[in-house]
Amino acid sequence: VESSILILSHTPGISSRALDMPGSPIRRSFMAARALQERGVDVVRLDIGDPDFALPPHFAAAIEQALRDGHTHYSPMAGVPELRAALAAHVQRRYGVDCAAGEVIVNQGATEGLNAALTLTCDPGDFLLMPEIYWPNYIQQVALAGVRPAFYRLDRNFQPVLDDLPGLAAAAEEAGSRIAAVLMNSPSNPTGAVFPRATVEALYDFARDHGSWVVSDEAYCDYVFEGEHFSPLMLDRRQPVDERIVLAVFSASKSYAATGLRLGWTIAPTPAAAARLQIINEPLTGSLTTPLQYGLAAAVAVEDAHERRDALRGRWQLAHEMLAAAGLESAHPQGGLFYFVDISRTGLDAEQFADELLQQEHVAVVAGDGFGLQPHFENAREGFYPTDLARRHIRLCFAVPEARLRQGLEGLVAFLRRKTAGEGGR
Ligand SMILES: Cc1ncc(COP(=O)(O)O)c(C=O)c1O
């Protein structure tokens, strides 16, 4: 025993940064659902945000052509020129703003784009201001970058409580630091909130007044069912180039139902920022997948996002009707691919709810916990805790075939009825 203790004491330890990183709850529910499926159970998967469409044929055809043309070598770190030009033209058409190809950086998915944006905008110890309910990878990225999160509260409709902002800036200063960047994600994963123009303006003005950057995660910009997507690019691009502060990050995963291709892009505020992002890409990706970029260049040249949005509209509506009929008080999502549903009246917390729903009805959803983790600042070693708001919600994705969505929601409603009527009702 003594000798093994001796050996253990010489075993290298895993870094505290790695140990402190919370795992994504989406992966956890993914694994639980997979385990059931491997036992032959038919699980309705409403857990993953992966739209069920096929890749547009011209996207696939352009990839095949690129392969045949021998575009299989290292790509420039900022992306192939054809794609950067196509993305700049796409942004110009879509938002009515100027955008040069030199301001576009291609990413290995929006995930990498966001990591690069954090590296560009924040030093270790700086604060990133972010919503209290958020896509879980943000908190992991914050941990990876050594950045401190500060959270803006969300109201009943998951819109930012703007009155909080001055107090948050003062608190960052009191902590001897500053808010280096303000993160916004509209439409939001998981809440589906779409920030109106006035809210985007308020967050943007706050950032300008405090010398902060804005990081705008627009992964779901093509899925707005009510209202309109308003990008802070539309404010920022009115400013002189050297006063611009917005980095906008986009994703082919959601826009083209291409989660497996790992393609995203960032619109950098200035050519100088773009040049830095290009350097940051080097350690993060090594290089980007070359033939796939030609596919994306062909895809963005065709403005057909409305077709995919309209194909989902009926499912978004169906989910609304079934949840509302069951009396589930969910803030109505205006965009995105998800419903973030308040399940508190069952008396269960979200993790219990998701576990039991999976085991009893074979419907997979994600517990809200991981969408609202906050660090124990007083004692960082204790890691993160989920807020009460997060623990009252589960997330479900409606971008699945309609019959499956209906089946999954029927299971959820039956489960809910049982839970609210007492356990005996089955
Ligand atoms: C809000 C949000 N941002 C970014 C991403 C990352 O997308 P990608 O697959 O392009 O890395 C996701 C993926 O789920 C997301 O939900």
Tens digits of residue pLDDT in 81-92: 999 999 999 999
Q: What is the pLDDT of residue 425?
A: 42
Q: Which atom of ligand 1 is nearest to the CA of 188?
A: 1
Amino acid, res. 43: V
**CA of 135 relative to ligand 1 center, distance in Å:** 8
pLDDT: which is higher, 300 or 7: 300
* Mean pLDDT to the nearest integer, 401-411: 97
Dist. CA 229–CA 222, nearest whole Å = 8
Between 109-121 and 271-285, two packed helices, what is the crossing angle to 10 degrees? 120
Quote the pLDDT of residue 16.
80
State the pLDDT at residue 328. 82
d(CA 68, CA 134): 41
Instruction: Determine the distance separating the centroid of ligand 1 and the alpha carbon of 138, expressed in angstroms.
Output: 10
Residue 120 tokens, joined: 């560009």
Residue 293, pLDDT above cutoff 60 = yes
Query: What residue's CA is closest to ligand 1, atom 3?
Result: 219
Best of 158, 254, 288, 366 to mutate for ligand 1, by most ligand atoms within 8 A of CB? 254
Indicate if the pLDDT at residue 19 is higher than 90. no
The CA distance from 394 to 133, in Å, is 12
Q: Residue 189: which H helix or E strand, with range?
A: none
Give the position, in ligand 1's atom list, of the atom nearest the Cα of 113. 11
User: Please, which contacts does 387-393 make with residues 24 or more away whose CB atoms are closer than 8 Å?
Assistant: 387/132, 389/132, 389/133, 389/154, 390/133, 390/350, 391/349, 391/350, 391/351, 391/367, 392/342, 392/343, 392/344, 392/349, 392/350, 392/368, 393/133, 393/190, 393/340, 393/341, 393/342, 393/343, 393/350, 393/368
Length of the chain in terms of residues written:
426
State how far the Cα of 338 lies from the Cα of 318, in Å rounded to an integer. 12
Mean pLDDT of 62-79: 97
Spacing, Cα 220 to ligand 1 middle (Å): 8
The pLDDT value given to residue 280: 96
Ligand 1 mean position, distance from CA 110 (Å): 5
Q: Does the structure show a pLDDT above 70 at 4? A: no
Tell me how far the alpha carbon of residue 3 lies from the centroid of ligand 1, in angstroms. Answer: 48
Residue type, 102: G
Which pLDDT tens digit goes with each residue over 252-265?
A: 999 999 999 999 99
Which residue CA neighbors atom 16 of ligand 1 most closely?
A: 189
Q: What is the pLDDT of residues 98-153, one digit of tens each?
A: 999 999 999 999 999 999 999 999 999 999 999 999 999 999 999 899 999 999 99
Q: What angle do CA 389, 391, 392 make, to 5 degrees?
A: 70
Ligand 1 atom at minimum distance from 26 CA: 14
Could you tell me the distance, in angstroms and rounded to a whole number, from the CA of residue 114 to the centre of ligand 1?
Answer: 9
Ligand 1: distance of its center to the CA of 165 in Å? 26
What would the two tokens of residue 319 be? 């989910």
Under 8 Å between Cβ of 127 and 377? no
For residue 16, the CA-to-ligand 1 centroid distance in Å is 26
Residues with CB under 6 A from ligand 1: 49, 109-111, 135, 185, 189, 217, 219, 251, 253, 259, 264
26 has a pLDDT exceeding 90: no
Instruction: Give pLDDT tens digits for 191-213.
Output: 999 999 999 999 999 999 999 99
In the chain, the percentage of residues whose pLDDT exceeds 90 is 84
Q: Where are the alpha helices (DSSP H) in 326-364?
A: 350-361
Q: Closest residue (by CA) to atom 7 of ligand 1?
A: 110
Whether the pLDDT of residue 377 is over 70: the answer is no
For ligand 1, pick from 111, 186, 288 the residue to mutate: most ligand atoms within 8 Å of CB.
Answer: 111
Contacts with 79 (C-beta within 8 Å, 6 or more apart), sequence order? 87, 104, 105, 106, 265, 288, 293
Query: From atom 4 of ligand 1, which residue's Cα is the shortest distance away?
Result: 110
Mutate to test the pocket of ligand 1, among 48, 137, 255, 337 (most ligand atoms within 8 A of CB): 137
Helix (H, G, I), strand (E, B), or coil: what is residue 267?
strand
> In ligand 1, which atom is closest to the CA atom of 49?
14
| Distance between Cα 333 and ligand 1 center (Å) | 18
> What number does the ligand 1 atom closest to the CA of 135 have?
1
Distance CA 357, CA 135 (A): 22
pLDDT band at 6 (very low <50, low <70, confident <90, very high): low
* Global pTM value: 0.94
Residue 107 CA: nearest ligand 1 atom is 10
Q: Which atom of ligand 1 is nearest to the CA of 217?
A: 3
Tell which wins on pLDDT, 407 or 49: 407
43 has pLDDT over 70: yes
Give residue 399 CA to ligand 1 midpoint distance, Å.
15
Average pLDDT value over all residues in the chain = 93
Residue 421's pLDDT band (cuts 50, 70, 90): confident
Which contiguous run of DSSP H or E holds residue 340? Answer: strand 338-342
Task: Please report the atom of ligand 1 found closest to the CA of residue 252.
Answer: 10
CA atoms of 108 and 289, how far apart (whole Å): 8
Greater pLDDT, 219 or 419: 219
Mean pLDDT of the region 414-422: 86
Q: pLDDT (tens digit, 9 = 90+) per residue, 313-350?
A: 999 999 999 999 988 867 789 999 999 999 998 999 99
- Of the two residues 10 and 252, the one the predictor is more confident about is 252
Q: Say how far residue 124 (Cα) sits from the centre of its chain.
A: 22
